[in-house]
Amino acid sequence: MHLISMSDLTLEEIEALIEDAGRLKAERGSQRLRDDLKGKVLGLIFEKPSTRTRVSFEVAMLELGGHAIYLNWNDLQLGRGERIKDTARVLSSYLSAVMIRAFRHETVVEFAAHASIPVINGLTNLEHPCQTLADLLTIKERKGRLSGLKLAWIGDGNNVCNSLLLGAATVGMSVSVACPEGYEPPASILERARALAEKRGAEIKIVREPADAAKDADVLYTDVWVSMGDEAERERRLKAFQRYQINERLLGIAKSDAIVMHCMPANVGEEITEEVMEGEHSAIYEQAENRLHAQKALLLKLLSP
């Protein structure tokens, strides 16, 4: 089994992963080192930078008794043009699983098509499913439930937004995306998310005004205005997203017990203010920590016998 898109997971699978992650988190104080994945090796291929994804996967493998190998794209023959297909076949004969962070989503899809081991999407231009697993765990911890909640996405309809839309829709959470015209999530994602949401009585909306999304929201979520790979559009994006910031004023429109989320890294002063990031509503640092626990649950699902 692979995890390429958040929609690869059923409601039951998401619920089981969140439960396992919560258990692993609670146990970690007394039982940090386990041996479930003894002898298993995870390859981590990065075509873009990373702090959280790299370190949480490496530590997850270590604490589960396995091993991780960091593979920078440009240090592999991939950087000199070796075919993805050939790399996938060769690495499948050495490794137990591979996580890939790539620019193009198609790279991960193609890799998985030729791999005989599980492939995990560690972020592409289209999706970031590992982030969504940690986010759903965080929301469940803070709110005690997922179904029936309302999440407001403020800003770019990007990779993090796309996976969150699919994950939220699957668990029955409504999402309002407030974004400028031209920065909506792709139609293919919206269509899939809406079909999933409908089955669970949830709603997916696109609005222009951050305040319209934030009204009565249980969760406010934002991400950078300029994602990795979008740097050439920085000036245009800074102008387009000026109003799409989570600040005290926007927080005041949400429910009084709303939580604030951000996948990090954050550009403080752009999409979020320091006050909100450090404020009592912020669940941002827990989200980052939860990457570790959620990915441990995922690795156990994909790799334990």
What CA–CA distance (Å, rounded) separates 135 from 221? 10
Among 41, 50, 141, 243, binds ligand CP (CB under 6 A): 50
Among 14, 24, 112, 263, binds ligand NVA (CB under 6 A): 263
Residue 224 contact, options ligand CP, ligand NVA, none, Cβ 5-8 Å cut-off depending on partner type: ligand NVA
53 lies in the site for ligand CP, by CB under 6 A: yes
Residue 159 contact, options ligand NVA, ligand CP, none, Cβ 5-8 Å cut-off depending on partner type: ligand NVA
Q: Is 242 part of the annotated catalytic residue set?
A: no
φ, ψ at 229 (rounded to 5°): 105, -15
121 lies in the site for ligand NVA, by CB under 6 A: no
268 lies in the site for ligand NVA, by CB under 6 A: no
User: Which amino acid, 193?
Assistant: A
Sort residue 191 into left (φ over 0), alpha (ψ -120 to 50) or beta. alpha
User: Which amino acid, 173?
Assistant: M
Residues 6+ apart with CB under 8 A from 269: none
Smallest gap from residue 45 Cβ to ligand CP (A): 13
98 lies in the site for ligand NVA, by CB under 6 A: no
Say which of 192, 200, 237, 291 is annotated catalytic: 291
Smaller CB separation from ligand NVA, 218 or 223:
223
What CA–CA distance (Å, rounded) separates 51 from 162? 21
160 lies in the site for ligand NVA, by CB under 6 A: yes
Among 92, 96, 138, 159, binds ligand NVA (CB under 6 A): 159
What CA–CA distance (Å, rounded) separates 4 from 122? 9
Binding span for ligand CP by CB under 6 A among 31-39, 173-181, 214-222, 258-266: 258-266
Cα distances (angstroms) measured from residue 30 to each of 11, 24, 27, 166, 290: 30, 10, 6, 35, 17
Q: Is the peptide bond before 265 cis (omega within 30 degrees of 0)?
A: yes
295 lies in the site for ligand CP, by CB under 6 A: no
What CA–CA distance (Å, rounded) separates 159 from 131? 10
131 lies in the site for ligand CP, by CB under 6 A: yes
293 lies in the site for ligand CP, by CB under 6 A: no
Alpha carbons within 13 angstroms on the beta-carbon side of residue 107 total 25
158 lies in the site for ligand NVA, by CB under 6 A: yes
In the block, which residue shows the tokens 């692993």?
24
Binding span for ligand CP by CB under 6 A among 37-45, 110-118, 189-197, 262-270: 262-270
Say which of 263, 281, 293, 295 is annotated catalytic: 263
Q: Is 101 part of the annotated catalytic residue set?
A: yes
224 lies in the site for ligand NVA, by CB under 6 A: yes
Cα distances (angstroms) measured from residue 201 to each of 173, 176, 192, 198: 9, 14, 14, 5
Smaller CB separation from ligand CP, 43 or 172:
43
Q: Helix or strand or coil: residue 238? A: helix
Smaller CB separation from ligand NVA, 202 or 260:
260
Q: Is 223 part of the annotated catalytic residue set?
A: yes
3-state secondary structure 117-171: CCEEECCCCCCCHHHHHHHHHHHHHHHCCCCCCEEEEECCCCHHHHHHHHHHHHH
Question: Which residues here bind ligand CP, judged by CB under 6 A?
Answer: 50-53, 123, 131, 263-265
Question: Which residues here bind ligand NVA, judged by CB under 6 A?
Answer: 123, 158-160, 223-224, 227-228, 263
Active site residues: 101, 128, 131, 223, 263, 291
